[in-house]
Every structure is written in structure tokens, then in C-alpha cells.
């Protein structure tokens, strides 16, 4: 018996995923984590109104979800002051990034991003045969000037930037991003990942121009809205760009439960403000804990704090490994020199207390191992 061979492109790809989930680590350890502070989920949970809406929708789960996400798209359009034709809803930003790359990147086409930026975007570029070009961070910031220069040099189809940034938590002002948009080379589209923008200071997001054909903005309900497990993301773009998604998307990918939860969450601005306060308090406390252990917390506009461990990547990995062994799930940047850091998600008071108790032991172990 035989089977068809994988395509040459598929054969060239590693059988890997961008992230190893905490569940896989728990299975390997044979026990659960005490504190889940690595995936930048909202430990404060979704709006109670969203939970109620999802519970009601669960009884309707025998039906497919609306393939147009009509009600949610209209609500998002009203929220952002655009038309429903400027909104596409999908199964999280990750899925939308994959669809976008599929639409615009043919094998060999150039794509530009920052070395060490969100790896799932790179995963999709590789999966569709794109040629990925990277530029380094400047300090702990993605570098808009370097990204534009590289995109111009290689005639890139797409250039990616996250604002605020993951994994560093840094951010640029709206003016900086708008200037970047204004300088895009011909035939290039900016992929502006704004997953964390609901938690960022005023003046971080540039004004939305629904007619601009060379920018797509990615938003999510996974962070501030606390619906990571529901997988709801959306794209804001010109009507022509948005309509392109209809050529390749999974039209029944959004379940009724997720649509109902996201719609209720969007309308509960009181809960969103509550989460913002909780995140700000958690950021302050994580920063204080880092300082108390001789580490340097970086300024953050997200629901996590990136902590400079003061040495190289090997030392930071030793700290992370010791924290994981102690039941604290955290992650870290992958690429030097940002890999001198660990990244700690904002959690509940109890979770942060667990982190506070384990960090000194982890630091001691790292010093004993590496000096």
C-alpha cells in the first residue's frame, strides 16, 4: 500500500509548533502548574455577561455558527466607526495571519519581520513558502525604520509589527506607527498586530482609515476580554482586502458559543475597565518582585512584564527552568539579546504570590548552575 508523497514544501518543513503548551509540560512533569503565568491569558476571566451569553448559546450548539458572524461584525464595525465590510472575524489572530499570508505570499515572495517577534507569523510564512527577512530590535523595541528599509530593499509583500510588542511589552506611539504606514513601499502591506492595544496607554493606536489598502490591523478577544479559549480574533482593513478573506477562510470556523461570548464581552465596557485596573496592579507587583530580587522589569503596555535577568540567555533559561520545576509556568523571548529576559503574565494575587515565593529559589539555582 502506498500514499501520495508530501509536497516538496511540506517535506522541507519541521514537524513543530511555534509554542509548547503548558498542558504538554504538565503531562511531561506528571503534575499541574501552581501558577499559569506564561501564555498571556487573562487570569481575571471573561465578563460575567459573556459567560452568561455563552452558557445560553451552549444549548444551541447543535446549530452551526453564523458563517458571516453578522451580529459580531456589525457590533465591531460600530465600535470602531467603520462599515461591516471593513471587518473580518476569524478563529483568533493566528488563523487570520495564516489566511493573510496565503492570500498575498506566493513561494519565494519576501516578507519582513523583527528577529524574535511573534513566531506564529513566521510559521505561516514558512508554511506557504515565503522568504522571511528579519531585522533586529533596537534596544527592546521593534524598529519601524529598519523594517521599512528592509521591506524596500527586498520588495516585501508583507511587513509585520506588533504594537504593543510581544515578547518585550514595549510600544510605539500612534505617530510613529502612522509614519511607518506613510512610508510603506509600493506593493507592500503592513500587518499591524494590535493584540494588546486594549491594555495600552492612550495614543498608542493610530486612527483607523478604512479606505487604506496597504494596512491590515489584527485585534483579539483573547487578552483584555479574557476569551483566549474561545478563539475570536478580527481584522480591520479596506473592503477589498477584507473581501479577500472570503476566498480562503473556513466559513463555519466560528462557533455560536464564541460569537455570543465575544458580542457580550464587547458590550461590557465596565468589565474591560475592571480588567485594565487589575492588569495595571499586577504589572506593578510583578515589577516590584523583580526589583526585590535584583532584576530589572521592562516598561509594559501589555498584560505581562518582561524581566531582564541581567546576564545572557543561558542564565535566563536556567531561571525559567527552575521556575517551571517549581510549578510556575512562564516563558521567555527566543532570540538574543532579548533572550536575557523571562516573561511573566499578569495573574491573580495568589498566582503572583506563588511566583514571588519561587523566584528567589530559581535565582539561587541559576547562580549555582552558571555562576
Q: What is the CATH number of the domain that holds 319?
A: 3.90.1150.10
pLDDT > 70: what percent of the chain? 100
Supply the pLDDT for residue 1. Answer: 84
The C-alpha cell 473581501 sits at 243
> Considering 267, 289, 315, which residue would you say is the last residue of a domain?
267
For residues 34 and 328, the answer to whether their CB atoms sit within 8 Å is: yes
The arithmetic mean of pLDDT across residues 73-94, rounded, is 98
Cβ atoms < 10 Å from Cβ of 247: 9
C-beta separation of 139 from 161 below 8 A:
no
Statement to judge: residues 326 and 260 lie in one domain: no
**Cα(265)–Cα(72) distance, rounded to whole angstroms?**
11
The mean of the pLDDT values for the chain is: 97
- The whole-number pLDDT of residue 75 equals 98
16 pLDDT higher than 90:
no
- Could you report the per-residue pLDDT of 175-227, keeping only the tens digit for each? 999 999 999 999 999 999 999 999 999 999 999 999 999 999 999 999 999 99
Domain membership flag for residue 9: no
Among 309, 306, 325, which Cα is nearest to 367's?
309
Q: What digits encode the pLDDT tens for the residues 311-358?
A: 999 999 999 999 999 999 999 999 999 999 999 999 999 999 999 999
pTM over 0.85: yes
Tell me which of 204, 232, 267 is where a domain ends. 267
In terms of Cβ atoms closer than 10 Å to its own Cβ (0-12, 13-18, 19+), residue 277 is exposed
Distances (CA, A) of 245 to 100, 110, 189, 248, 321: 7, 21, 15, 6, 41
Residues 307 and 213 placed together within one structural domain of the fold: no
Please indicate, yes or no, whether residues 216 and 282 belong to a single structural domain of this protein.
no
Q: What CATH number has the domain bearing residue 145?
A: 3.40.640.10
Take residue 351 and report the three cell numbers written for it: 498566582
Q: If you average pLDDT over residues 121-140, what whole number do you get?
A: 97
End position of a domain, from candidates 267, 284, 318: 267
Residues 276 and 155 in one domain: no
User: What's the domain range around 352?
Assistant: 20-45+270-363
Please tell me the predicted confidence (pLDDT) of residue 340: 98
pLDDT band at residue 253, thresholds of 50, 70 and 90? very high
Residues 235 and 127 in one domain: yes
For the cut 80, the answer to whether the pLDDT of residue 91 exceeds it is: yes
Query: Is 236 within a domain?
Result: yes
DSSP structural state of residue 254: S
Mark whether 241 and 325 lie in a shared domain.
no
Which DSSP letter does residue 222 get? S
Query: H or E segment at 328?
Result: strand 328-329
pLDDT of residue 18: 74
Rounded CA gap, 195 and 292, in Å? Answer: 30
Tell me, yes or no, whether 275 and 290 share the same domain.
yes
Q: Tell me what pLDDT residue 19 has.
A: 80
- The predicted model gives 280-287 an average pLDDT of 98
Total domains in the fold of the chain: 2
Q: Could you count the other beta carbons within 10 Å of the beta carbon of residue 280?
A: 14
SS (H, E, C) 310-323: CCCHHHHHHHHHHH
Amino acid at each position: 500500500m502506498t500514499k501520495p508523497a508530501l509536497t516538496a514544501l511540506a517535506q522541507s518543513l519541521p514537524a513543530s509548533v511555534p509554542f509548547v503548551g503548558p498542558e504538554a509540560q504538565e503531562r511531561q512533569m506528571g503534575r499541574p502548574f501552581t501558577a499559569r503565568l506564561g501564555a498571556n491569558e487573562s487570569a481575571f476571566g471573561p465578563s460575567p455577561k459573556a459567560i452568561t451569553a455563552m452558557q445560553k448559546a451552549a444549548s444551541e450548539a447543535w446549530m452551526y455558527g453564523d458563517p458571516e458572524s453578522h451580529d459580531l461584525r456589525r457590533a465591531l464595525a460600530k465600535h470602531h466607526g467603520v462599515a461591516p465590510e471593513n471587518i473580518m472575524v476569524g478563529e483568533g489572530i493566528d488563523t487570520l495571519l495564516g489566511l493573510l499570508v496565503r492570500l498575498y505570499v506566493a513561494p519565494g515572495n519576501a516578507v519582513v519581520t523583527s528577529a524574535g517577534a511573534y513566531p506564529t507569523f513566521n510559521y505561516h510564512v514558512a508554511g506557504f513558502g515565503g522568504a522571511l527577512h528579519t531585522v533586529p530590535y533596537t534596544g527592546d523595541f521593534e524598529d519601524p525604520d529598519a523594517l521599512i528599509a528592509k521591506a524596500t530593499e527586498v520588495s516585501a509583500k508583507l511587513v509585520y509589527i506588533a504594537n504593543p510588542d510581544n515578547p518585550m511589552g514595549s510600544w510605539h506611539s500612534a505617530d510613529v506607527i502612522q509614519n511607518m504606514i506613510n512610508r510603506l513601499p509600493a506593493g507592500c502591506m503592513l500587518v499591524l498586530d494590535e493584540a494588546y492595544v486594549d491594555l495600552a496607554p492612550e495614543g498608542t493606536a493610530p486612527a483607523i482609515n478604512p479606505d487604506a489598502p496597504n494596512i491590515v490591523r489584527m485585534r483579539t478577544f483573547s487578552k483584555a476580554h479574557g476569551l483566549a479559549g474561545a478563539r475570536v480574533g478580527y481584522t480591520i482593513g479596506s473592503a477589498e482586502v477584507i473581501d479577500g478573506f472570503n476566498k480562503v477562510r473556513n466559513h463555519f470556523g466560528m462557533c455560536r458559543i464564541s460569537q455570543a461570548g465575544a458580542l457580550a464581552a464587547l458590550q461590557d465596557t465596565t468589565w474591560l475597565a475592571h480588567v485594565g485596573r487589575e492588569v495595571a496592579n499586577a504589572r506593578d507587583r510583578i515589577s516590584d518582585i523583580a526589583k526585590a530580587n535584583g532584576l530589572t522589569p521592562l516598561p509594559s503596555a501589555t498584560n505581562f512584564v518582561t524581566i531582564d535577568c541581567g546576564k545572557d540567555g543561558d542564565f535566563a533559561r536556567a531561571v525559567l527552568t527552575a521556575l517551571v520545576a517549581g510549578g510556575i509556568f512562564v516563558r521567555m523571548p527566543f532570540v538574543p539579546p532579548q533572550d536575557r529576559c523571562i516573561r511573566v503574565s499578569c495573574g491573580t494575587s495568589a498566582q503572583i504570590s506563588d511566583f514571588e515565593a519561587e523566584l528567589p529559589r530559581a535565582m539561587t539555582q541559576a547562580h549555582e548552575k552558571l555562576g
